[in-house]
Structure 1
Amino acid sequence: MAGNENDIKEILAVHHAWLESNNDLVIEKMYPNFADPGYLQFNLNGHEYQGPAEKAKLWEGLHQIGFNLSDMKIVEEPKVHAEGDLAYLTTYWSAQVSGDKGTGVLEPDPEPLVFRVTEVYRRDDGKGNQVWKIWHFHASPIASPDLPRFPQEA
Structure 2
Amino acid sequence: MSDAVNNPDDIKEILAVHHSWLESNNDLVESKMYPNFANPGYLQFNLNGHQYDSVDEKVKLWEGLHEIGFNLSDMKIVEEPKVHAEGDLAYLTTYWSAQVSGDKGTGVLEPDPEPLVFRVTEVYRRDDGKGNPVWKIWHFHASPIASPDTPRFPQDA
TM-score by length of 2: 0.97
Q: Quick check: 1:88 aligned with 2:94?
A: no
CA apart distance, 1:47 = 0.2
Q: What is the one-letter code of the residue matched to 1:125?
A: D
Q: Of residues 110, 115, 133 in structure 2, which corresponds to 1:112?
A: 115
Q: What SS class does the counterpart of residue 102 from structure 2 fall into?
A: strand
Q: Deviations over 1:63-85 (max 9, x none)?
A: 00000000000000000000000
Aligned length: 153
1:56 and 2:92 correspond: no
| Aligned positions of 1:1-154 closer than 5 A | 3-154=6-157
Equivalents in 2 of 1:47, 1:133: separation in Å?
21
- Aligned-pair distance for 1:114? 0.0
CA offset at residue 94 of structure 1? 0.1
Structure-1 separation of matches of 2:25 and 2:60 = 14
Deviations 1:17-69 (A, max 9, x none): 00000000000000000000000000000000011100000000000000000
Separation in 2, partners of 1:71, 1:104: 21
**Shift of residue 124, structure 1, vs aligned partner:** 0.0
> What is the aligned-residue identity percentage?
88
Runs of 4+ in structure 1 off by over 3 angstroms are: none
